[in-house]
Each structure stands twice: as C-alpha cells, then as structure tokens.
Structure 1
Amino acid sequence: MRIDGKVAVVTGAAVGTGRAIAQRLAADGADVVLADIDEAGLAQTADSIGAAARRVHLDLCDDDALAELMACRPQILVNNAGGGAVLRPCFPEADVDRWTASLELNLRAPMLATQLALDGMRAAGGGAIINLGSTAGVGFGPHVSPEYSASKAALIRLTATLGCLQESHNVRVNCVVPDWVATERGLAEQAALPEAERGPELVPLETLTSAVVRFVEDETLAGRAMLLDRGKDPELIAS
C-alpha cells in the first residue's frame, strides 16, 4: 500500500514517538491528522510538518470526540497514544479510577478507533492500522505497572486476532512492540541513571518509524507484531 496521498491519523502525535511517526508519514507523502490532548505539543508537531498536517485537540477517552476524529476516514491509522507506565501508585495500590484510566487509554481507545475506522477503510478499498505496543506486554515477568503491561499485552493479542480483517475488509492490522525508545524524554531518563544501570542503547526513532512504514506498505503482513528490542534487529514475533 502506498503512503503517498493517503490520509493518516496518528494519535498521541504531540511528542515523542507520535511526533516522529507523523513526521515520517508526512515525509512519505501522507496527509497527516495529528491527535492529542497536548495542544501546545500538537502545534509544534504541526509546525514541523507544514501544510501536510492538520491537528485535532481531543481526549482519546472521549468517545464522541474520537468519533468526530475518525470522520476524516483515514486509510492509515496509527494507534500510538498511551502511557501511564511511570505513574505511581500502580495496581493493586492504585484506586480503581486510576488503573481503569490506564486500561481505557492503552486498550479501549485504540480498540474503538479501530472499530470506527473500518467502514471508511473498506469503502476506500482498504487500509492499514498499526498499534503501538510495548515490551512491557511481552513475557511472564513482573512489571511495576501491571495495568499498563496488561493493556499492552492485550493490544498485541488483539492485533493477532484481527489478522482476519485483511480478508473481510482489506484492512491490515499490525503491531509495533518497542522497548525503551530514544525520544527526548527517554534519552533524558536514561542519562539520569547511574552508568552501570543504563543498559544497551535505546531503540532509535528511525527504527520505530521504519517499522510503521513497513507495516503500511507490505501487503503480505497482517495480524503480526514486530519486536524492537534494545541492541537487537527488529523481529516479527507473531502471526
């Protein structure tokens, strides 16, 4: 699937991975719709892209606002928005509203965005949906934020189950699963650690954006997850 000339929605586009993904898709010719609750960050991302960008200020947990966003009928949807892994306290110490909010942002919002995008994509002849998971959702070890890791694990599994949409809707759903990424915040957090605790270099932003582009363009890939581990080559881990 060609990116050039397509409408692409990128959620969480104000900073970090979302900004980098939006910039990459715009550079490859997409008309990018930037969505985030951070209005100032959205303006900065839009300014960095130029005329190919349109920004929408919204809370992704607001169902009506999300429906209005998806009315642009994108052919590309990147469910990048998420977070909460560093918030304290976490489950089980966190109260119900707090851990529920994490599940809503990291799992329910991309599920609803996907559902809302499908009819428009099918009418346009097809589309590509890319979810942003996390290595926090891989494996069976402990994690400081059980609600975050559980939501990301569910998003990866959801992606695999939606491989069937390629046949029914000509829509391919895939998932990029990065470790710690070299965003401005990621690099600052790594630098703040004692040198002995820093570990391998963070996942380059170019590696992440290239994974997104591959999932858009490669029509043989559906229901797959690509693991981007620190210090390792990208690896397709699910089918």
Structure 2
Amino acid sequence: MTPRQRLEGKTALVTGAATGIGRAIADRYVAEGARVVYADRDADGAAAAVAAIGASARAVTMDISLEASVAAAFAELAEAGWTPGVVVANAGVQLFGHDAEIADLDLEVWQRTIDVNLTGTFLTVKHAVRGMLQIGGGSIILTGSPTAVRGEGSDFTAYSASKAGIHGLGRTVAAAYARRGIRVNTVGPAYTETGLVSAIVDDPEARAAIIGRIPMGRAGSPADLEGIMVFLASEESAFATGAVFAVDGGMTTL
C-alpha cells in the first residue's frame, strides 16, 4: 500500500459527485485506492464522471430529497456488493436570488432548501447507517458551513438554518452509533468556488466582501477539502466522531 492509497479496500459513496466539491472528493478517493460510488441526481453527469475510471467506480442516480430514490440507490449497491463503508453527504443547494432575510423569504424557497440540504442529508445518513450496521461500521462525513455557527449567511436564512441542522444531526447520530462502529463528522468549508456559487464568482464586489472575511485572504477550492475528507474516511481518524472540522482559511476564528 502506497502513501497515496490510504483507502484501499474501502467502498465509498459521495453525493453530489457529478461536479464541484463532490467530484473532487470522489476522484481523490479513487486515487487513494477506494471503490467509489458517484451519486448524483444528474445521471448523465455521474456517468460522465466515472466513464474514464473503470471498475473502481460506478455511478448511481440519487435524488437525496426523495426517500424512495435514496433507498433504491442503497438497495442497488447492496445487491451488487457495493454497500459503502464511507459515505460523504455532500449534495446541497444554495438558492441565490431567492434565499433572503427572513421577513422577505418565501416559504417555497425555505422548503426547497430544507428538503434538499437537511432532509436530503437525513435520508442519506439514515440509509448509510442501515447499510453500515450490516457490515460492521463505517465513517459518515457531512458537509457543513460557517453559516451554521455564525452570522455569515444573514441574507441566506434557509441555507444557514439547513446547515445548522446538519451540524446538529451529525452530533446526534455520532452519539447514537459510536458503540456500534459508526463515526460521523462534519467538515465546514468556507466560501469555496464551484458552480454552486457562480452568482458570487461573477459579482466582484460580493466576492471581495466574502474573501475579505477570510484571514488567509483567498477563496477555497475543492482541492482544499480533499485531505480532510481522506483523513476522516481512513482509519487514521478512528477516534474522531461527533466533531466539526473547519477548513475555512480561519474564517470561524474571527
């Protein structure tokens, strides 16, 4: 086993793996020796992501906001002998131009954000835990946000609330299943430039305002998250559960 294959022998599933942070994590897991399931509601995108990888990756269509879709995906994987021992619940939405301060927030926008980000994470974790109980344990990693713990998202009420819920969910599930071999941790990235935040990338003033609150003075990239995601998926983090790992350029230290 080489130093770049810390996940050899593991099967991992990453949601939102067709693009952005999810794609970077899934690709790194493959490089680290894991079999990786690229899960996304974009079936074509997931298929394209695994096309050049070969037998160590497979695509699965999963709409995390629908339990039938999540359950079917996990059942398909179990039938194929691909029950994941590592699950990264990464998929989410941030509805720029619609999410707002609470007095101006439409219920539909609130509900859509909660359905995908919080309920979608709940459903992913629920079915991940069921599978891991059958294989003797595993590691679950949630994608959180500084907006969950401080007022960074004052005009993103639904998004901030959904991420706060994810942080709480992670702690609760970690405590419930620690003695059964399942670890749950949350990674909190700061502003990370992917397609999800194109509205900010294309707005120099808004981008500068956010980066100005990051002590390291730059935006994050998906590559900045790969190392912590490998650590939490590997046995190197065997005693870590219920924690939040900030990878935010010092944003939450201010």
Aligned partners of 1:30, 1:145: CA distance in 2, in Å? 36
Q: Which moved more, 1:86-95 or 1:148-157?
A: 86-95
SS of alignment partner, residue 231 of structure 2: helix
The answer for the alignment partner of 2:243 in structure 1 is: 224
Report matched runs for 1:21-100 at 5 Å.
21-71=25-75, 72=77, 73-90=83-100, 91-100=102-111
The answer for the alignment partner of 1:215 in structure 2 is: 232
Q: Which moved more, 1:26-35 or 1:45-54?
A: 45-54
- Please tell me whether the aligned partners of residues 174 and 224 of structure 1 are also in contact (alpha carbons under 8 angstroms): yes
Aligned partners of 2:201, 2:47: CA distance in 1, in Å? 27
- Please tell me whether the aligned partners of residues 70 and 113 of structure 1 are also in contact (alpha carbons under 8 angstroms): no
Q: CA RMSD in A?
A: 2.5
The answer for the alignment partner of 1:206 in structure 2 is: 223
Aligned partners of 2:43, 2:178: CA distance in 1, in Å? 38
The answer for the alignment partner of 2:141 in structure 1 is: 130
Give 1:140 shift: 4.2
Structure 2 unmatched runs, 5+: 1-5, 78-82
Structure 1 unmatched runs, 5+: none
* 1:54 maps to amino acid: R
SS of alignment partner, residue 106 of structure 1: helix
* 2:41 maps to amino acid: I
* 1:82 maps to amino acid: G
SS of alignment partner, residue 173 of structure 2: helix
Aligned partners of 1:196, 1:129: CA distance in 2, in Å? 33
- Please tell me whether the aligned partners of residues 12 and 36 of structure 2 are also in contact (alpha carbons under 8 angstroms): yes
Give 1:169 shift: 1.8
- Please tell me whether the aligned partners of residues 5 and 29 of structure 1 are also in contact (alpha carbons under 8 angstroms): yes
The size of the alignment, in residue pairs, is 233
Aligned partners of 1:12, 1:153: CA distance in 2, in Å? 19
Give 1:67 shift: 0.3
Give 1:191 shift: 6.1
- Please tell me whether the aligned partners of residues 228 and 234 of structure 1 are also in contact (alpha carbons under 8 angstroms): no
Give 1:65 shift: 1.0
Aligned partners of 1:63, 1:203: CA distance in 2, in Å? 32
SS of alignment partner, residue 38 of structure 2: strand
Give 1:31 shift: 1.2
Give 1:141 shift: 5.6
* 1:7 maps to amino acid: T
Q: Which moved more, 1:110-119 or 1:160-169?
A: 160-169
What fraction of aligned residue pairs are identical, expressed as a percent? 33
SS of alignment partner, residue 49 of structure 1: coil
Q: Deviations over 1:49-99 (max 9, x none)?
A: 333221122321121110011222211110000012424154443432331
* 2:168 maps to amino acid: R
Report matched runs for 1:146-161 at 5 Å.
146-161=157-172
TM value normalised by structure 2: 0.81
Aligned partners of 2:248, 2:14: CA distance in 1, in Å? 23
Give 1:163 shift: 2.5
- The equivalent position to 1:104 in structure 2, one of 77, 92, 115, is 115
